[in-house]
Amino acid sequence: MNNILKRTLLPSLMAASLAGVTLVPAKPAAADDQVLRDAGIGAVTNVVTGAVRGKGNVLNNAVRGGVTGAAVNGANGLRNTRNRRHRSVVQDVGVGAGTSAVTGAITGNSRDTLGNAVDGAAVGGVIHLLTNGK
């Protein structure tokens, strides 16, 4: 009797649990549909600030700025839909500075952590100015 229950019950139980797991809707990612826009703004801004400061190469600055822009977008995606339109400048600048400093350390530009943070703060500020209220 025990073997019969195992042979009939276990496969159906496994199929039901697999279907239940795959059909449960997942929570959408925090970043919104404008993440590419913010990554582009970040890349351009960081290339400009890197050129003004005379630090880093264009590609490295663009990558660091793109990652920073996406992080600023993601941080605003965590807010509820009503508050997404009213972005916080402190949050944008803070997330930008922190992300750029960490990304600079990961990409090998860790000798200028303060400069990376300043570049990221500029990225967060520009994204805030261009996208607040939209």
Global pTM reads: 0.71
Q: What pLDDT sits at residue 24?
A: 47
Measure Cα distances from 55 to 75, 100, 128 in Å.
27, 14, 24
Residue 85 pLDDT more than 60? yes
Residue 43 resides in a domain:
yes
Residue 53 resides in a domain:
yes
Residue 68 resides in a domain:
yes
Q: Distance between CA 102 and CA 54 in Å, rounded? A: 20
- In which domain, by residue range, is 68 found? 37-74
* pLDDT tens string 100-111: 988 888 887 778
Q: How many domains does the chain have?
A: 1
Residue 128 resides in a domain:
no
Q: What pLDDT sits at residue 31?
A: 53
Write down the mean pLDDT value for the chain: 78
Residue 62 resides in a domain:
yes
Burial 32-51 (b: 16+ CB within 10 A, else e): eebbebbbbbbbbbbbbbbe
Structure confidence at residue 125 as a pLDDT band (50, 70, 90): very high
Residue 6 resides in a domain:
no
Identify which has the larger pLDDT, 32 or 45: 45
